[in-house]
Amino acid sequence: MTNECPDPLVCSVNCAGDGHIDLKTMKILPVNNYGQYYLRFRACVGTNVHPQQFSRYSIIDNSGCKTSDDFNFCSRFIPPMTFIPVAVDFNTSYIEIDSCKMSIVNNKEVYSCDTGITPYKIFGSKESFPITFDVAQSSWSICRSNDRCLGTFCDGQFRPPICSPKTLKHVYGNGKDYFSDPFLT
């Protein structure tokens, strides 16, 4: 596997807007989807942080986004067994991630996010945001070849072998290191 791309963000999913990824106005979250579902990102942008509560107690009031109309929905879904950076708006207060099933109806992809699985929630602010998001590994996560690991490689150092995760090292590093081992410096 080789990647001579000078910018690893070319292969990212941009949930913050259209066009290229601007690191001054966007946060990058490496997503390691070890699961069997497609992931749909919904961002609550800047409406739910009380500045004094957050600065003193790190409290985030969830009252900002109550209905689906309040969220910014990402236009792309993250497929199962995909390991990719996702860009979100810099003012994102929290993200909800739905687990969705995809089916083909009349030659079109149709996503159903009513799987009965509680959405994942990721909280943060301009100053503090998680550095990765991993869907938990399961027997579904086991790989036997690189073909099963979109955006990464099957790491035989693990027993059983699993797809190697992405980290911020891959996102901000040189494109030639995009498929490097995340645990080596």
Six-digit token pair at 72? 């910014």
DSSP codes joined into one string, 45-108 = ESSS--HHHHHHH----TTS--SGGGSEE-SS-B-TTEEEEEEEETTEEEEEEEEEEEEEETTE
pLDDT tens-digit series, residues 7-40: 555 556 777 777 677 777 788 888 888 888 999 9
Among 49, 12, 50, residue whose Cα is nearest residue 31: 12
127 vs 86: which has the higher pLDDT? 86
How far apart, in whole angstroms, are the C-alpha atoms of residue 86 and residue 40?
11
How far apart, in whole angstroms, are the C-alpha atoms of residue 93 and residue 59?
11
What mean pLDDT comes out for the span 51-57?
65
pLDDT tens-digit series, residues 55-77: 666 665 555 677 888 888 888 89
Q: What is the mean pLDDT of the chain?
A: 76
Domain boundaries, the chain: 8-177
> Could you report how far apart the first and last alpha carbons of the chain are, in Å?
19
Which pairs with CB-CB distance under 8 Å and at least 24 residues apart come from 143-150?
143/81, 146/1, 148/81, 149/81, 149/83, 150/79, 150/81, 150/82, 150/83, 150/84
